[in-house]
Amino acid sequence: MKVFIAAGLGFALSFLAATVMAGTPTDDRIAFSSDFTGQVVGKLEGGISECQAVAAVYRFDCYRQNYRAVGRSLNGKPDYRDAQKALKRVEDTLKAVVKQNGDRGAPPLKQNGRTYKAVRPDTVAASAAAFNKARQEAVTILLRADGKAQVHYQRIASVVGSNKVIIRTDLLAVIRLV
């Protein structure tokens, strides 16, 4: 009898050790959650509001930083991997826009603990077009989700695609300045 108890105890301890060594699910690996999706949506919306408070030529870098921050918040969350990739594509487009169209003569703008680079005023229209195209591609990717991802990705897509009017307003303001 003692042999069976010892063997059973040994098996249980081996199983427990293997489970601990493999790692247990943590908050970093959460499945889809309405609360977490709400946080993602809130960060995107907050970034849009923050970027609207800066001059149009700085907004592209502001949006880039917002998409990067939100994308990074999805690290380690496998269920949100495709959303992270979609946001990363927008960020990469904005990074290229700021690099290609950067206004080296304009001083960096420091606001709310962040520093933004300007694009040249004559490139705002082309920059906005690239941004809009990248956002629409991200929306398409997000809306293709199915299963459990669908409702969560739709919420994210609604924010990514929601600021078309804001960008068009920016273009009108810059056109009047030029």
Q: How far apart are CA 83 and CA 89, in angstroms?
A: 10
- pLDDT 10s digit of each residue in the chain, 178 long? 554 444 444 444 444 444 434 443 444 455 789 999 999 999 999 999 899 889 999 999 999 999 999 999 999 999 999 999 999 999 999 999 999 999 999 999 999 899 999 999 999 999 999 999 999 999 999 999 988 889 999 999 999 998 643 555 455 555 544 4
Residues 4-15: tens digit of each pLDDT: 444 444 444 444
- CA torsion through residues 124, 126, 132, 134, sign: negative
**Six-digit token pair at 99?**
């690099």
Domain locations in the chain?
29-177
**Residue 27 near residue 75 (C-beta atoms within 8 A):** no
The 10s digit of each residue's pLDDT in 2-45 is 544 444 444 444 444 444 344 434 444 557 899 999 999 999 99
pTM score, two decimals?
0.76
| Dist CA 151 CA 137 (whole Å) | 18
Question: Is-contact 114 43, C-beta < 8 A?
Answer: no
* Distance separating alpha carbons of residues 137 and 89, to the nearest angstrom: 9
